Chains A and B, each alone.
Chain A
C-alpha cells in the first residue's frame, strides 16, 4: 500500500514550521527534522542555480530507492514537501490541498505569527482528514 512517511512545511527563510510523520519508517526527532528541512531548503535553492534550463523553480521530485520526495513551493516562498513510498501517486494534488488547508486554517488564525512554527489545532484536524481520504482514495 502506497503510504506517506512524513510531511514538512518550511517557511521562506528555510526554517521548519511544521513536521508530521505518519509511518513507522523514517521517524525523526526534532533536531534531525530541523536539519533535513534546512538541508532541503538549501538544496532547493542551489538546484535553481544549477539548472541547465532558464526559469527553473527548483526540485519538484526526488526519487530514491526507498522513498520519493515530492516538493511544492508556493510563489510566496513557502515549501511543502512530503516523503513517501516510491511510486506513490497523486502527491502533487495532496500538496496543493495541504497548501489550501494552510491558507485556510493557519494564515487565517489571527494568533498565528507569520513564519513561526504552526500550532493550529484546526489545521492538524483537517490535515489528518485530508491524508486519510488520500489513503482511502489510493486503496480504491
Chain B
C-alpha cells in the first residue's frame, strides 16, 4: 500500500467527530469558574489549568499523529507550523499563524485571532491575573514532551486582558531523544 501523505487540517477537521462549539465554550467556562471557587488564588488556578492541559496534551499527541499522518518534523520551525496549521485546526477549528522567530530558531509566537474558548467571556476585576486559556499552553507543552521536546509555553498577549490577539510564546528548551542504556562499561 502506498504511504499516505499528511492530511490538511481542514480535511481532518471535516472527518473527526465534532461537538457543539457553545457546549465546549460553556463547559470550559464552568471548569474555570469552579477552579476559581475551589482554589481561590488566581495563580493556583493558572497552575492547575496548565497541569490539566499537560495531562490532555500527553494523550492528544497520539491522536494528532494518528489522524494527521504527519511525518517526523525536520526542525522546530516545521513543528511550530504543524501545530499552528494542522493541530489547532484539527482540535479547535481555528487556524493560527507562526511569527517572531528568534535567531536560533528555538523560540516563536503562535498567534490566534479566533479562540473558541473565550467566546462570551469577560474577566472581572477580581481575576485580573488569570490566564483564562492556560489549558492551551499546557496542552502544547505536554504534547511536545511526548515527542522528545522540552518546551516552555507562556502567554505573550491575551485578548481578555485588552490585547488584539492571543499570542503564545513557545520556547524550545531542549531536545531529549530516547537514550538506551547500551553503553559498554568496561
Interface presence of A36 (CB below 8 A)? no
Q: Are A107 and B62 in contact (CB under 8 A)?
A: yes
Q: How large is the interface on B (under 10, 10 to 19, 20 to 34, 35 or more residues)?
A: 10 to 19
A48 vs chain B, min Cβ distance (A): 9
Given contacts A92-B1, A114-B58, contact A77 B178 (CB under 8 A): yes
Interface presence of A56 (CB below 8 A)? no
Q: Which residues of A contact B35 (CB under 8 A)?
A: none
Instruction: Select A103's contact among B1, B63, B178, beta carbons within 8 Å.
Output: B63
Q: Which residues of B contact A90 (CB under 8 A)?
A: 1
We find that the number of chain A residues with CB closer than 8 angstroms to chain B is: 22
Interface presence of B67 (CB below 8 A)? yes
Given contacts A76-B146, A93-B1, contact A49 B72 (CB under 8 A): no
Q: Which residues of A contact B178 (CB under 8 A)?
A: 12, 45, 77
Instruction: Select B182's contact among A46, A76, A102, beta carbons within 8 Å.
Output: A46
Instruction: Select A76's contact among B1, B61, B67, B180, beta carbons within 8 Å.
Output: B61
A67 vs chain B, min Cβ distance (A): 20
Q: Which residues of A contact B147 (CB under 8 A)?
A: 75-76
A15 vs chain B, min Cβ distance (A): 15
Q: Which residues of B contact A75 (CB under 8 A)?
A: 65, 72, 147
B5 vs chain A, min Cβ distance (A): 13
List 7 A-B pairs, minimum CB-CB distance, nearest first.
Answer: A103-B63, A107-B59, A100-B66, A103-B62, A76-B146, A103-B66, A99-B66
A positions within 8 Å CB-CB of B: 12, 45-46, 49, 57, 74-78, 90, 92-93, 96, 99-100, 102-104, 107-108, 114
